[in-house]
Amino acid sequence: METQTYTTKSEDETIELGRKFAENLKKGDVVLFYGDIGVGKTEFIKGICKYFNVEEIVTSPTFTIINQYNGTKDGENIAIYHIDLYRVKEKKELLEIGFEECLYSADAIKLVEWAENSFEIVKFVNYRISIKADFENVNERLIEIASEN
């Protein structure tokens, strides 16, 4: 496992970091995001989606739990699943919405916010990204990217 740490000073810098990070992603990858509400998980994901030329609006899929975007890279289609487990209370809910099947789809990139609530369903992980806010500097974020490849 290899861990890299970054500090961003604005929303735009976090989006740019997400865009850079996306260069490494390939079909089938699973990325888990950790960190409190409002810390910037969705902003980072916006950057990933920018890299994959996603035209849909990227927002936390809080009510639907899973959003699907149509990404492309080098003219090839890549589906992106954006999953937000913030409201998940029990494992049963995850099984009912097909979270497991979604994780196993080899053609898609899977981005999971609130991975703390995944009830250990996720068996294969490529990256874990944890974001922390800095209470003294409101727009500063500490972003740790751990690669399990």
Ligand X SMILES: Nc1ncnc2c1ncn2[C@@H]1O[C@H](COP(=O)(O)OP(=O)(O)O)[C@@H](O)[C@H]1O
Smallest distance, Å, CB 2 to Mg ion? Answer: 25
The reply to whether 117 sits near ligand X by the rule CB under 6 A is no
The reply to whether 67 sits near Mg ion by the rule CB under 5 A is no
- List 53, 139, 148, 149, residue binding ligand X (CB under 6 A): 139
Q: By CB under 6 A, what part of segment 3-62 binds ligand X? A: 8-11, 13-14, 35, 37-43, 60
- List 17, 21, 22, 42, residue binding Mg ion (CB under 5 A): 42
SS3 letters across the chain: CEEEEEEECCHHHHHHHHHHHHCCCCCCCEEEEECCCCCCHHHHHHHHHHHCCCCCCCCCCCCCCEEEEEEEECCEEEEEEEEECCCCCCHHHHHHCCHHHHHHCCCEEEEEECHHHCCCCCCCCCEEEEEEECCCCCCCEEEEEEECC
Which of the choices Mg ion, ligand X, none does residue 141 contact, using the CB cut-off of 5 to 8 A by kind?
A: ligand X
Question: Cβ-closest residue to ligand X?
Answer: 40
Question: Total number of residues binding ligand X (CB under 6 A)?
Answer: 18
**Residues near Mg ion, by CB under 5 A:** 41-42, 60, 113
**Residues near ligand X, by CB under 6 A:** 8-11, 13-14, 35, 37-43, 60, 113, 139, 141
